Amino acid sequence: MKSLSFYSLIVTASLLLSISAYADEYIITLKNNAFSPKELVVPAGHKIKIIVKNQDATPVEFESSDFNREKLIGANSEVSIFIGPLEAGRYTYFNDFHLETTGAIFAK
Amino acid sequence: MTSTPIHVFYKSVLTLTVFIVLICSTKNSAAFGLDEIYSPNVEYREFSVEFMGAQSFDPNADKSGAQVGQVTLEAGLTPRFKLGVSAVYAKEAGKDMQLEAHEIEGLYQFVESGEYWLDAGMLVAYDFSNQSYSPDSIESKLLLQKDVGKYTSTANIGFTQNVGKFSDHTGGPNYTFLWNTRYRYNVFFQPGIEIQSDLGQGHQLNNFNEQEHYIGPAVYGKLFGHLKYQAAYLVGVSNAAARSAARLLIEYEMHF
């Protein structure tokens, strides 16, 4: 019973630690198999929300090992992705279904 | 010769099949418990075929050659829920590999990845024993993950309780703690460190040497296309653990 209480405490603590706050929202659009803007500038040191809109008729897998995200976006759909806080620098991402389709985020 | 997507697919399936056959036909092993370290994040509309195999190594024949293997089919059915079914194989030292259980598992992602300070989820699995006079079991794991710069750390805190027929006198739940931290060098190569601890049942929680603790280097990433891998070589650091153990996971992803 003591162990179960300890486990419950860990679950509760982890949920309490889940504190959200993000600075701004940005939009990245995929159309004709190209991301726009090709390079997005965001503030360094802040958590941001990016809405990725897929305006093509085929699904996309938005992926980046630089900021550790992997999201499937259906045809003509959108998803929200939370990133950061990022240190100043350039972070690349790509469509895992078409590796030549890439983009970047500049944190300044 | 250029590789078309279909060539890459067949190459991946062939590699996976050869690997599974090699592992399942290996002689030598004992029931021990290296496991996959789960991310709390669900990949929606992803279907994957996954094989995880692990083996212990020790000069003592009672501890050497223990093996576990698990073949799993998983599907991200909603943006927050993944369902999986598995066949679990195990082999104790000096014995044959056996189909130990069939497992059904559900993984629920509590929060959107990166939205909060910590990513969190819960895995619940039910094992239907395939062995005579052996109980079924239910496993629950709290899954936590945190990105800091180019590092990602994941922790799984779990317990397993025997249930149903034959579960009398098997004692209280068995606790586990798994941890890894990896450096995301690129998509293909992400080196890291892994800790796997089987803490035992309640009465063993204060006795380090009755528990199995392993720690060592690991590497994660993509091989090519949609084929992912995880490999770890861990050293036993408690008396109950084998001198070392290795684990390998191969996963092929498709989308629906």
Q: What is the ipTM of this complex?
A: 0.80
CA distances from B254 to B5, B43, B44 (A): 12, 11, 11
**pLDDT of amino acid B71:** 97
Measured in angstroms, the CA of A38 and the nearest CA of chain B are apart by 20
Per residue in B142-200, pLDDT (tens digit) is 999 999 999 999 999 999 999 988 877 777 789 999 999 999 999 999 999 999 999 98
- The predicted model gives A22-29 an average pLDDT of 87
Residue B26 has pLDDT above 60, yes or no: no
Nearest CB to A82: which of B114, B157, B190?
B114
Residue B12 has pLDDT above 90, yes or no: no
Per residue in A75-86, pLDDT (tens digit) is 999 999 999 899
| Apex B223 CA angle, B219 and B226, nearest 5 | 120
Secondary structure class of A16 (helix, strand, coil): helix
Per residue in B76-127, pLDDT (tens digit) is 999 999 999 999 999 988 788 899 999 999 999 999 999 999 999 999 999 9
**pLDDT of amino acid A24:** 87
Between B4 and A92, name the one with better pLDDT: A92
Across B1-5, B33-37, B148-152, B247-251, least confident range:
B1-5
Residue of B nearest to A86 (CA): B149
**pLDDT of amino acid A101:** 95
pLDDT over 90 percentage in chain B: 66
Most B CBs within 10 Å: which of A10, A14, A15, as the mutation test of the B interface?
A14
Identify all chain B residues contacting A15, using CB atoms and an 8 Å cutoff: 110, 120
What is the Cα Rg of chain B in Å? 18
**pLDDT of amino acid B107:** 98
**Tally of structural domains, chain B:** 1
Nearest CB to A18: which of B45, B117, B173?
B117
* Cα–Cα dist B201/B224, whole Å: 41
Residue of B nearest to A91 (CA): B150
pTM exceeding 0.80: yes
Residue B207 has pLDDT above 80, yes or no: yes
User: What string of DSSP letters covers B69-134?
Assistant: EEEEEEEEEETTEEEEEEEEEEE-TTS--EEEEEEEEEEEE-S-TTTBSSEEEEEEEEEEE-STT-
Identify all chain A residues contacting B113, using CB atoms and an 8 Å cutoff: 69, 81-82
What is the Cα Rg of chain A in Å? 17
Inform me whether the C-beta atom of residue A106 falls under 8 Å from chain B C-beta atoms: no
CB contact under 8 Å between A7 and B159, yes or no, is: yes
Secondary structure class of B30 (helix, strand, coil): coil
- The predicted model gives A81-106 an average pLDDT of 94
Average pLDDT, chain B: 86
Cis peptide before A37 (omega within 30 of 0): yes
Residue A8 has pLDDT above 90, yes or no: no
Question: Would you say A26 and A41 are in contact if contact means Cβ atoms under 8 Å apart?
Answer: no
CB contact under 8 Å between B112 and A18, yes or no, is: no
Q: How confident is the model at residue B256 (pLDDT cuts 50, 70, 90)?
A: confident
Q: How confident is the model at residue B9 (pLDDT cuts 50, 70, 90)?
A: very low
* Cα–Cα dist B128/B138, whole Å: 9
Q: How confident is the model at residue B29 (pLDDT cuts 50, 70, 90)?
A: very low
Question: CB under 8 Å to B100, separation ≥6 — which residues?
Answer: B31, B88, B89, B90, B129, B130, B131
Alpha carbon B150 to chain centroid distance?
A: 23
Residue A37: which H helix or E strand, with range?
none
Q: Name the residue range of residue B174's domain.
A: 5-255
Q: How confident is the model at residue A15 (pLDDT cuts 50, 70, 90)?
A: low
Between B17 and A71, name the one with better pLDDT: A71
**pLDDT of amino acid B30:** 35
What is the CATH classification number for the domain harbouring B31?
Answer: 2.40.160.40
Across B10-24, B67-81, B194-208, least confident range:
B10-24
